[in-house]
Structure 1
Amino acid sequence: MRRDEPVGPKSPLYLQLRELIRGKIENGEYPPGTAIPSVGALAETYGIHRLSVRSAISALIGEGLLKSVQGKGIFVVGEKLAKDLETAGGFEQTLKESAQRSETRLLIKAARPAGTLYAGYLGCSPQEPLFYVKRLCLLDGEPLSLEEAYVPQNLVPNLPDVDLNVFSLHQVYAFYGIRISRGEQSLSISRLDSAEARLLDVDAHRGVLTLQCVSYDAQGRAVEFARSHIRGDKCDFHVHFHR
């Protein structure tokens, strides 16, 4: 809910700070998916009591602009998140929505050129800069899947500053107003190298389920190429069809 009361120089300090933080969110100084300064840092910067800082932050959390993550900090959510969470997601997103004891660990977040292979999937030039993200998904503390994603940098330029242990890629897309409208998926059986097999806690000589998907937005742009290596002993796939 937006503020109702006018805020001016004579307003309580927590209201003034609330509006200052809101302004930094709205003008992009605090982008969605990133952490704002700590309570202590804000108190020191603006010379006000920590209780006033906490009150300002609590108000913005109540509005849905900020999100508190225990042990990590206070993160900017952005006003688009609530209405865009219905976006179709990949295997990791399905896991988050269906399991209360899931966890995602970020392994790699790096920039790289598309190269011939991923340029073919994403419909771009081999020189196009991409973000490469690799994560391990766990359920009840046990490895379930290895997730890889390749995303054009121009679609989500702020991704290096986003904590992907807090936000999923599909939430990041929502920050930029990107709605996944369709995808092309394939399912196969593949073998992992020894390092990846250890991460998933599987025998390197046994096959795992590999799900590949190219996701598109409503304008037909290829937004993401994703590859998920999934333990077949931990999940089932169901397909629904209509004649």
Structure 2
Amino acid sequence: MDWVMCLLPFAVCFVGFLAAAKVTKKKKRILAAAGVVLFLAAAFGSLAVYRNQKITKPIRDSELLAVAELRLDTFLGDAELNDFQTDRLTELYGALGHYLNSLVYLPCINQDTFDAGTQDVILQFGTEEEVKLWLAFYPDRRICLVNGKKAYVFPGGTAAYQKIEAILASDSVQTTVTITALDAANDQLTASDAEGKEYVIHGISEKLRTRDEEQVDVKALSTGDTLTVLSDGAALLSAPSQFEHIYKIYWEK
């Protein structure tokens, strides 16, 4: 975007030149059209370079994607944070990377704070030691944060949050299991899939949802209930097996 700002004085001088120059109106129109085309080409070129440097390259060079969702209950003051991560070899990483690279990001001149609402989804590419890209999206807002800086998102900026949530849900690995034992006091359960493979799942309450995205109390679960576990597909070599990274757990009842 620095290129565009540097071109603004040039554009002003160019307009002044056209106004003062002793050339025919036809030539002025041709020169004006050429100036507009040059300015637009430089502006769009700058946006392409910005996206490549700030979005495309960090995604390509990263090995890990971490996802955090925040849903703030403004009445109770409770903050709910869903942490999830996956590596670049998964379909989920590829789908999110492809979508993010399809967007156009226009940095805001005004970098003042804004009303972010009560929900967000944060995508962090890289590791905790070396974060290469940090993005935050909000429901029904054209504004996102790129490494902490405000930027407008096109096309369909207001739908970017919903699209990212849809990708997280559809491209995660889905495993359907049946609860075989429940330990609500310790927030864990054991379950088996259709092939009889057993899993133990810890920290259920942080991930448990209905299909309407409502949080579920672990005590509402019962042996025999069906759950759909959304994960990155990685599993720990233990007996019973464990999902390494869980995005959400849907209670199918």
TM-score, normalised to structure 1's length? 0.25
Per residue, is there more strand in 1 or in 2?
2
Per residue, is there more helix in 1 or in 2?
2
Task: Tell me: higher relative CO, structure 1 or 2? Use CA pairs within 8 A at least 6 residues apart.
Answer: 1
Give the structure with higher Rg (CA). 2
TM-score, normalised to structure 2's length? 0.24
